[in-house]
Chain A
Amino acid sequence: MRLVIRNKADTVADYVATYIKARITQFAPTAERPFVIGLPTGSSPIGVYKRLVQFCASGSLSFKHVVSFNMDEYVGLPRDHPESYHSFMWNHLFKHIDILPENVNILNGNAEDLEAECDKYEAKIKSYGGIELFLGGIGPDGHIAFNEPGSSLQSRTRVKTLAYETILANARFFGGDVTKVPMLALTVGVGTVMDAREVVVIITGANKAIALAKCIEEGVNHMWTVSAIQTHSRSLVVCDDDATLELHVKTVRYFKSIEQVQDEMIGRENLGLYGQVAGQLKYSSVSSGN
């Protein structure tokens, strides 16, 4: 796992958006071999989406051959409701970019058979050969998608009862009325996310500090579901200074030093996307490997 620390949410978004652009560009997707991305909703990715939209507007990025799978959707909320995740994705990303409608996948929370909808979703992900990069955010309780504390780390796409805390937290989007917040959601499982070939998690703000510490400094634990990334072979967490408040100083210094060494000894231009040494070294005495 790599931890990249930036000073604030804006620079976190810069980093993540630039990273995704580089990954898509490097992948050189085509209609036959599209780039398959998993996408989150919530406050964490808004800045990233804004930058991806700018890349598209300036012509430096295209979603023409990108296939997207969203993480989750409320059950029973009309698709056109302003708080639906369909509306969120439409307003923050899809209407601004050149992604093809047939390449966009979001769980249908109004499907007649919700379980069949979930199974179909898993099958569709498989039909594309899995997800290349799953982008995620994190809740204050360490949840990813709607996989709240206690979710199996092997879980797949399914119907989920929302935790009372989540319902309370979401009431602000429904006129402060708890009774209007949907109590059920469809969500990809922790296992679905971890099956992606790469997982990138955005963690910003002091209210996520405990979650970050629990997820990366302590053991893999179903009460902090994002902790599952510790066992993923290619994972990246990008956080801001505020989110590091509960980390050990040692942890912060360690991950900052890795970047510093890479910058000073290897040179950013010689680094591969995953932090591996890709070009010629600044100093031949530095051994390669990561």
Chain B
Amino acid sequence: MPGEDGPVTQLYNCRILRDHALVDDYLYIQSGRIIDPAKMFWDEQRLPDARIDCKGGIVSPGFIDVQINGAYGYDFTNDTDIIEEAVHNISKGLLLQGCTAYCPTTVSSRPEVYRKVLPHLGPRAGSVESGAAVLGAHVEGPFISPQKKGAHELATLRSAANGLADLDACYGLDNLRQYAAYVTVAPEVDGMLDTIPHLIAATGVGVSSGHSNATAEVAGRAHASGATMITHLFNAMHPFHQRDPGVIGLLGSSGPRPFYGIICDGIHVHPHSVMIAYYAHPAGACLVTDAMSAQSLPDGSYKLGKMDVDVHDGRVYIRGTDTIAGAIITMAECVRNFIQFTGASKVEALENATLHPAQMLGIADRKGTLAHGADADILILDNDLHVQRVFIAGVEATEENVQFRKRL
């Protein structure tokens, strides 16, 4: 990273997402970070070296997607032999979409897969050379409920009867420690409830409830033990019932409430359900794409893990079934859909795609915010929240300087 005396760029003619409001102000970038211009003016007695006209647009932190399985023909679980190529191309493609940081997500797999791919999914900084920042893997399964497996392969699912040893045997605890941000588990899986605190203590990984048939009581205990997230709320879980609301019921808990990923493609979750969830617990909402390899590719046949899936009209199905298997939506579309579904403000929608996921990951001091000192991962959006320009680590990303390959 260049020194503190790097050139200063000022963004002007814009409304900036800051402190839960869109404010008329300028944004200053230096050496990959957002800086306090008053300090620059008074202490260093300098003016910006370059100015960028935002044309009245909205300036937001870059989107953060905490659940994405693949895109552009690549898949984090399936492409074990070309995993580096997959990460490289997906990171760059996502960056141009406005997603400046993400958690590459794997579906339930056999142990050898984790040993192969996880070392490639650990945190790495974002840049125009490497694409969106990787925030660590989101390891979804295989300690999940067979009844709520969704598109995960039944044969891979496991239990944790022997506690932490079972998780070590599956992932390698070191792999979680170094490369993973979140693990999605079903708390009712044999042995899991008791293992959650040990897993967190041993690896520091975040725990999310998902693909779960847990009752409200079991879900409550999992979250009292340290789980902090719900994976794609409503999908692959015990449906809401008034006497036993299951994992979903955590949104109505009087104790600390979890963050929750929610897929706003209008297919996975009915707009009314999005509305109900959001107004039950607005501060926990994290928009996720749950995208699979066909994201940003034409309709056709693709792979999700080992499954064959068909993509047509924005929907993804396991071949020959009516089981939906991941989405092909982008973060920007999620944000716009969210507003359409809930009538929430632009600020709320943007924070669900920026601030909340950063808070969930414990990185809100540098990502998901435009506060002074934060990473200069920045979007300029038009008034309808279409991404106009993308900056990562203070450098504008364009189709010219971010070249990547789609695998058709």
| Residues of chain B lying within 8 A (CB to CB) of residue A94 | 41
Write 13 A-B pairs (CB below 8 A) sorted by A numbering. A80-B36, A80-B38, A86-B42, A90-B38, A90-B41, A90-B42, A95-B26, A95-B37, A95-B41, A101-B44, A101-B46, A101-B47, A102-B45
Query: Do A101 and B37 touch across chains, with their CB atoms under 8 A apart?
Result: no
- Complex Cα distance A104/B45, Å? 9
Given A101-B41, A101-B42, 11 other A-B contacts at CB below 8 A? A80-B38, A86-B38, A87-B38, A90-B38, A90-B41, A90-B42, A95-B38, A95-B41, A100-B47, A101-B47, A102-B45
Provide the B13-27 mask, 1 if CB < 8 A to any CB of A, else 0: 000000000000010
Distance from B105 Cβ to chain A, minimum over Cβ atoms (Å): 41
| Residues of chain B lying within 8 A (CB to CB) of residue A101 | 41-42, 44-47
- Complex Cα distance A100/B40, Å? 12
Provide the A55-81 mask, 1 if CB < 8 A to any CB of B, else 0: 000000000000000000000000110
| Residues of chain B lying within 8 A (CB to CB) of residue A98 | 47
Residues of chain B at interface, number, CB under 8 A: 11
Nearest 4 A/B pairs, CB to CB: A101-B45, A101-B41, A90-B38, A102-B45
- Complex interface residues of chain B between 30 and 57 (CB less than 8 A to chain A): 36-39, 41-42, 44-47
- Complex Cα distance A102/B44, Å? 9
Interface centre among A79, A90, A95, A104 (most CB of B within 10 A): A95
B-side residues, CB < 8 A to A, are: 26, 36-39, 41-42, 44-47
Residues of chain A at interface, number, CB under 8 A: 12
| Residues of chain A lying within 8 A (CB to CB) of residue B38 | 80, 86-87, 90, 95
Distance from A62 Cβ to chain B, minimum over Cβ atoms (Å): 13
Number of A-B contacts (CB under 8 A): 26
| Residues of chain B lying within 8 A (CB to CB) of residue A100 | 45, 47
Query: Do A79 and B42 touch across chains, with their CB atoms under 8 A apart?
Result: yes
Distance from A69 Cβ to chain B, minimum over Cβ atoms (Å): 15
- Complex Cα distance A98/B51, Å? 12
- Complex Cα distance A124/B39, Å? 23
Distance from A110 Cβ to chain B, minimum over Cβ atoms (Å): 12
- Complex Cα distance A90/B41, Å? 9
- Complex Cα distance A86/B37, Å? 13
| Residues of chain A lying within 8 A (CB to CB) of residue B41 | 90, 94-95, 101, 104
| Residues of chain A lying within 8 A (CB to CB) of residue B36 | 80
- Complex Cα distance A131/B47, Å? 24
- Complex Cα distance A102/B40, Å? 12
Beta-carbon nearest neighbor of A87 in chain B: B38
Beta-carbon nearest neighbor of B46 in chain A: A101
| Residues of chain A lying within 8 A (CB to CB) of residue B46 | 101
Distance from B14 Cβ to chain A, minimum over Cβ atoms (Å): 13
- Complex Cα distance A101/B45, Å? 5
| Residues of chain A lying within 8 A (CB to CB) of residue B37 | 95
Provide the A77-116 mask, 1 if CB < 8 A to any CB of B, else 0: 0011000001100100011001011101000000000000
Distance from B54 Cβ to chain A, minimum over Cβ atoms (Å): 14
- Complex Cα distance A79/B46, Å? 17
| Residues of chain B lying within 8 A (CB to CB) of residue A104 | 41
- Complex Cα distance A79/B26, Å? 20
- Complex Cα distance A126/B31, Å? 39
Beta-carbon nearest neighbor of A98 in chain B: B47
- Complex Cα distance A80/B39, Å? 8
| Residues of chain A lying within 8 A (CB to CB) of residue B39 | 80
- Complex Cα distance A95/B41, Å? 8
| Residues of chain B lying within 8 A (CB to CB) of residue A87 | 38
Beta-carbon nearest neighbor of B26 in chain A: A95
Beta-carbon nearest neighbor of A102 in chain B: B45
Beta-carbon nearest neighbor of A94 in chain B: B41
Beta-carbon nearest neighbor of A106 in chain B: B42
Beta-carbon nearest neighbor of B28 in chain A: A95
- Complex Cα distance A94/B41, Å? 9
Distance from B269 Cβ to chain A, minimum over Cβ atoms (Å): 42
| Residues of chain B lying within 8 A (CB to CB) of residue A80 | 36, 38-39
- Complex Cα distance A104/B41, Å? 10
Beta-carbon nearest neighbor of A90 in chain B: B38
Distance from B276 Cβ to chain A, minimum over Cβ atoms (Å): 38
Interface centre among A80, A90, A101, A102 (most CB of B within 10 A): A101
| Residues of chain A lying within 8 A (CB to CB) of residue B45 | 100-102
| Residues of chain B lying within 8 A (CB to CB) of residue A90 | 38, 41-42
- Complex Cα distance A100/B37, Å? 13
Distance from A93 Cβ to chain B, minimum over Cβ atoms (Å): 12
Interface centre among B26, B42, B46 (most CB of A within 10 A): B42
Distance from A73 Cβ to chain B, minimum over Cβ atoms (Å): 12
Distance from A56 Cβ to chain B, minimum over Cβ atoms (Å): 12
| Residues of chain B lying within 8 A (CB to CB) of residue A86 | 38, 42
Distance from A84 Cβ to chain B, minimum over Cβ atoms (Å): 10
- Complex Cα distance A137/B143, Å? 71
- Complex Cα distance A98/B39, Å? 16
| Residues of chain B lying within 8 A (CB to CB) of residue A79 | 42
| Residues of chain B lying within 8 A (CB to CB) of residue A102 | 45
Beta-carbon nearest neighbor of B36 in chain A: A80
- Complex Cα distance A95/B37, Å? 8
Distance from A20 Cβ to chain B, minimum over Cβ atoms (Å): 22
- Complex Cα distance A95/B25, Å? 9
Beta-carbon nearest neighbor of B39 in chain A: A80
| Residues of chain A lying within 8 A (CB to CB) of residue B26 | 95
Distance from B163 Cβ to chain A, minimum over Cβ atoms (Å): 51
Beta-carbon nearest neighbor of A86 in chain B: B42
- Complex Cα distance A98/B46, Å? 11
Distance from A198 Cβ to chain B, minimum over Cβ atoms (Å): 27
Distance from B365 Cβ to chain A, minimum over Cβ atoms (Å): 18
| Residues of chain A lying within 8 A (CB to CB) of residue B42 | 79, 86, 90, 101
Distance from A55 Cβ to chain B, minimum over Cβ atoms (Å): 16
Distance from A204 Cβ to chain B, minimum over Cβ atoms (Å): 24
Distance from B165 Cβ to chain A, minimum over Cβ atoms (Å): 53
Distance from B19 Cβ to chain A, minimum over Cβ atoms (Å): 13
